[in-house]
Amino acid sequence: AAQLLANGGAYKCYCSKEELDAMREEAEKKGVAFRYPGTWRNVPPDAPPPAGRQPVVRIKTPEEGCTTWKDGVMGQIEIPNKDVDDFIILRADGTPTYLLAVVVDDHDMGVTQVIRGSDHIGNTARQIAVFRNMGWMLPDFAHLPLIHGPDGKKLSKRHGATGLEEFEAKGYLPEAIRNYLARLSWSHGDDEIFSTEQ
């Protein structure tokens, strides 16, 4: 965050919770999604801050055009920049938000491919803003379609999960479950049945 403040890719925002709540309330009255309006975006860094307020740090996102990337699964994706506000990257207590931490972590670890669910496409536009403002190379992004249950909600480790006890109660043998899991994640020629030892 300090590097982004120094290079002009981020700025300190001193909006109070009450001011932000009033902005959200106004957006709700108008029936539009709240988008931080950049109140502190163009205030000179040497301007005196309001007394007694700790700032958050916000990334400067592009104000016009689109954030575009070639997705490894979905093809060309464009997110209008008007839909991506100057989001917080450092909280008032000095802790980084996920959107900053994940980009720094990916960069420091040399990650070249980010593969995740399509529900993260909106996050990608924000993360691209951090990568670009830092002057870092973008990794390749690929967003996979989600799998949904009969109720239309996305499946997760909790939703749609079935415990082994349920399979046991229905009469499934442990050997059959192991064989199914082995075939689900791996194939060995035309073999259909694997022993426990295999």
> Cβ contacts of residue 88 below 8 Å, gap of 6+?
13, 56, 57, 58, 97
Whether 132 and 7 have beta carbons less than 8 Å apart is answered as no
Q: On the CB side of 31, how many CA atoms lie within 13 Å of its CA?
A: 0
Pick from 143, 135, 141, 130: which is nearest to 58 by CA?
Answer: 130
> Strand, coil or helix: what is 174?
helix
Residue 71, token pair as written in the block:
């997705």
Single-letter code of the amino acid located at 103: V
> Strand, coil or helix: what is 145?
coil
> Strand, coil or helix: what is 7?
helix
Which residue is catalytic, options 29, 30, 157, 170? 157
Is 29 a catalytic site residue? no
> Strand, coil or helix: what is 122?
helix
Residues with a catalytic annotation lie at 157
